């Protein structure tokens, strides 16, 4: 904490991983001797830069850009870019640290990185977003590359932003390669990438439930957020026969006991870029409530936090438990506080941690990289089948690690240990670097 002051999210992520690593470290004292634990929490490098741009009124604006290249022991850095006013170095580091282990769990050759800016795309014109993205890329281009570091989207960065950044990268470098994932389908994007994190979350959840003789069909589900991950989590949950009754944004949540109409949400969020509140204008029998936290007091069988970090605290977890929640699977990164996780585990709620449960997005990004390298494109069905296979494999790997290290059913420990071991072994093999 002394070395990294004012980075509470980073400390939280490191503490969670290190606490679960104890049994693995006891088995592998050589990792301690080789300084792996010290080296693995220090990013390879972190870049912070000025992003000047001109708004529609002709005023100069300045934001701060970041790219944290955390660990490339098992492959080129890979991880999204986040544009949100809350972005700071601590948040970038927590995300890049988590990403390292998540990427390891996918079984694909990708290292961990993350980046972004405190720029807020909300309320900005397309022209402003484009000028910002071009300025951001004018610095970032020198730090990334198809075999070096491959960014993608995250909060506030969707296909529009990726398109503008890719255009500027191409213009500066003259390279046409897979330097970004989440690209549009007309210029090297992969079918199924948009859906991947949400669909992958549901494939993972299916495996969690299967082990307990349960299915998703017929369950009542709450999904927080209404962005990329949330929308496609709802889509797959509905396809699998669940009834999703609530979604949210950072202002509030909608409750539709008859089941969320996803086409309306897509229209409001993906096309009109409006607030979730607009849902009740289309469906007056649904309710809108101010304050996003209230969503966790709705009775449900399954809760899927898909918005942001620390969105479920101990109190909200207590409400979910009191209402008889059966399973929680994390679509967002670190959406549950340590108190919330403890509450779930103490009450035998099935809990799928982010780094395993939401790994489908980055896994499909790696499939996009493969297609770009091979100069081919797979069908949606082929990508989706590979995604499903990857999520089932991640589940098995994580639950096996939990069993092997004496923490049956504790997928947090299983995910941390399984993700860590591969990275640590690669670092050992590559010497003190």
Binding site for ligand NDP (CB under 6 A): 153-156, 197, 224-230, 248-251, 292, 306-308, 311, 331-333, 358, 361
Q: Which is nearer to ligand NDP, 36 or 105 (CB)?
A: 105
> By C-alpha distance, which of 343, 267, 317, 46 is closest to 278?
267
What are the φ/ψ torsions at residue 56 (nearest 5 degrees)?
A: -65, -20
| Other Cβ atoms closer than 10 A to 17 | 24
Q: Which is nearer to ligand NDP, 20 or 336 (CB)?
A: 336
Lookup: tokens for 406: 């004496």
Q: Are 251 and 277 in contact (CB under 8 A)?
A: yes
C-alpha to C-alpha distance for 245 and 223, rounded to whole angstroms:
8
Q: Are 191 and 378 in contact (CB under 8 A)?
A: yes
Q: Are 76 and 150 in contact (CB under 8 A)?
A: yes
Residue nearest to ligand NDP (CB): 227
CB of 95 to ligand NDP, least distance (A): 6
DSSP string, 3-16: SSTT-HHHHHHHHH
Catalytic residue among 22, 93, 114, 122: 114
Contacts of 255 (CB under 8 A, 6+ apart): 245, 246, 286, 287, 288, 289, 295, 298
Q: 202-225: buried (b, 16+ CB within 10 Å) or exposed (e) per residue?
A: bbbbbbbbeeeebebeebbbbbbb
CB of 171 to ligand NDP, least distance (A): 25
CB of 317 to ligand NDP, least distance (A): 15
Q: Which is nearer to ligand NDP, 16 or 249 (CB)?
A: 249
- Helix locations, 111-192, DSSP H: 126-140, 159-173
Lookup: tokens for 76: 């080129």
Q: How far is CA 273 from CA 185, 295, 307, 365, in A?
A: 21, 21, 16, 24
Q: How many CA atoms lie within 13 A of 198 on its CB side?
A: 25
228 appears as a binding residue in the annotation: yes
Strand 111-117, strand 252-255: pairing: unpaired
Q: Are 389 and 107 in contact (CB under 8 A)?
A: no
CB of 328 to ligand NDP, least distance (A): 15
Would you call 93 a catalytic residue per the annotation? no
- Helix locations, 28-75, DSSP H: 29-33, 36-40
Residues in the annotated binding site for substrate: 78, 99, 102, 153, 365
Residues in the annotated binding site: 78, 99, 102, 153, 197, 228, 365
Catalytic residues: 114
């Amino acid at each position: 904490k002394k070395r990294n002051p004012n980075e509470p999210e980073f400390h939280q992520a490191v503490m969670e991983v290190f606490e679960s690593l104890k049994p693995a470290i006891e088995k592998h004292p050589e990792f301690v001797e080789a300084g792996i634990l010290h080296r693995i929490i220090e990013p390879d490098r972190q870049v912070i830069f000025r992003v000047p741009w001109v708004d529609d009124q002709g005023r100069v604006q300045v934001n701060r850009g970041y790219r944290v290249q955390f660990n490339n022991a098992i492959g080129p850095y890979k991880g999204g870019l986040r544009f949100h006013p809350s972005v700071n170095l601590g948040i970038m580091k927590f995300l890049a640290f988590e990403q390292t282990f998540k990427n390891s769990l996918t079984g694909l050759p990708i290292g961990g990185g993350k980046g972004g800016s405190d720029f807020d795309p909300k309320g900005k014109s397309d022209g402003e977003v484009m000028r910002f993205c071009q300025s951001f890329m004018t610095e970032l281009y020198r730090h990334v590359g198809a075999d070096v570091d491959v960014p993608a989207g995250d909060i506030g960065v969707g296909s529009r932003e990726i398109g503008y950044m890719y255009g500027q990268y191409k213009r500066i470098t003259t390279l046409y390669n897979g330097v970004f994932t989440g690209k549009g389908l007309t210029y090297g994007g992969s079918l199924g990438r948009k859906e991947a994190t949400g669909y992958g979350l549901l494939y993972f959840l299916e495996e969690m439930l299967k082990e307990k003789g349960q299915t998703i069909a017929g369950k009542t589900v709450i999904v927080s957020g209404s962005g990329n991950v949330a929308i496609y989590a709802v889509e797959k949950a509905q396809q699998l026969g669940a009834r999703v009754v609530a979604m949210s944004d950072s202002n509030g949540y909608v409750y539709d006991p008859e089941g969320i109409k996803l086409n309306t949400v897509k229209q409001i969020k993906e096309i009109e870029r409006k607030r979730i509140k607009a849902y009740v204008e289309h469906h007056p029998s649904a309710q809108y409530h101010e304050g996003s936290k209230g969503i966790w007091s709705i009775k449900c069988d399954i809760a899927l936090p898909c918005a942001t970090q620390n969105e479920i605290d101990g109190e909200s977890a207590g409400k979910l438990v009191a209402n008889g929640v059966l399973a929680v699977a994390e679509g967002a990164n670190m959406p549950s506080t340590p108190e919330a996780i403890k509450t779930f585990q103490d009450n035998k709620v099935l809990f799928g941690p982010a780094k395993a449960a939401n790994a489908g997005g980055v896994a499909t990004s790696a499939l996009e990289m493969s297609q770009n390298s091979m100069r081919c494109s797979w069908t949606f069905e082929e990508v989706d089948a590979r995604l499903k296979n990857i999520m089932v494999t991640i589940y098995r790997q994580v639950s096996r690690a939990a069993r092997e290290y004496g923490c049956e059913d504790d997928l947090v420990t299983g995910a941390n240990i399984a993700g860590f071991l591969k990275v640590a072994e690669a670092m050992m093999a590559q010497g003190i670097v």
